[in-house]
Amino acid sequence: MTRATLDKQPHEVASMFDDVAANYDLTNDVLSLGQDRRWRKEVAKAVDARPAQKILDLAAGTATSSQPFARAGAYVVPCDFSLGMLRVGKKNHPWMPFTAGDGTKLPFRDDVFDAVTISFGLRNIQDTDQALRELYRVTKPGGRVVISEFSHATWAPFRTVYEEYLMRALPPVARAVSSNPDAYVYLAESIRSWPDQPTLAGMLQKAGWSKVAWRNLSGGIVALHRGFKP
């Protein structure tokens, strides 16, 4: 098993991420031309973690995305269903409470977290609607969700160039820097098939989140969605 399919069978996706775990952060930095660092900063601002708050970072991988919340003094739980990612993360950050978990059935009680966040992982969960309901379930009333995900460029000419990059340039670049380049072909295809910004906002509202809004980054290549639990 080297590449997941777009029906997103959990064991296939987990296996794919296990394969790329060792060089995952470096590969992302190269493929995004360094933009992933800026995106992480914007996520940290949107989450606005405070000392003693409990933060769930779902699809945290190696917990690179979790570090800004920890530095802010929050208690952050990095959760992922790829054991390979968790092992690499635990080696790099042994003090963090890494937790294995499926986004459609989270291993946490109701109303636990002040904020829940997922960066570039919602797209890889088999049942998006169920994942949004689970994030809602484990969030305290008054708590918030922040989702950072690849989306659709808002300017048509740029969207065409971007999609060409995804399907033509990304695979050869991935072959040069990744331990499993086929995984990045799946990732490119999953980005193209992902719902646009208004559609995802509607899915959040359907799951129960209120005051849902989004903000585009990098011309809509990435979108930050936020909502609150009443």
Cβ-based neighbour number of residue 141 at 10 Å: 8
* Assigned token pair, 102: 């499926």
In a 3-state reduction of DSSP, which class is residue 79?
Answer: strand
User: Is position 2 annotated in a ligand binding site?
Assistant: no
User: Is position 119 annotated in a ligand binding site?
Assistant: yes
DSSP track, 129-198: HHHHHHHHHHEEEEEEEEEEEE---SSHHHHHHHHHIIIIIHHHHHHHH-S-HHHHHHHHHHHHTS--HH
Distances (CA, A) of 31 to 169, 170, 175: 9, 7, 11
Do β-strands 139-150 and 222-228 pair in parallel, antiparallel, or remain unpaired? antiparallel
User: Is position 57 annotated in a ligand binding site?
Assistant: no
User: Is position 127 annotated in a ligand binding site?
Assistant: no
**Is residue 209 exposed (0-12), middle (13-18) or buried (19+ Cβ within 10 Å)?**
buried
Phi and psi at residue 167, in whole multiples of 5°?
-90, -25
User: Is position 220 annotated in a ligand binding site?
Assistant: no
Q: Count Cα atoms within 13 angstroms, Cβ side, for 206.
A: 11
Binding site residues, as ranges? 62, 80, 102-103, 119
Binding site residues for S-adenosyl-L-methionine, as ranges? 62, 80, 102-103, 119
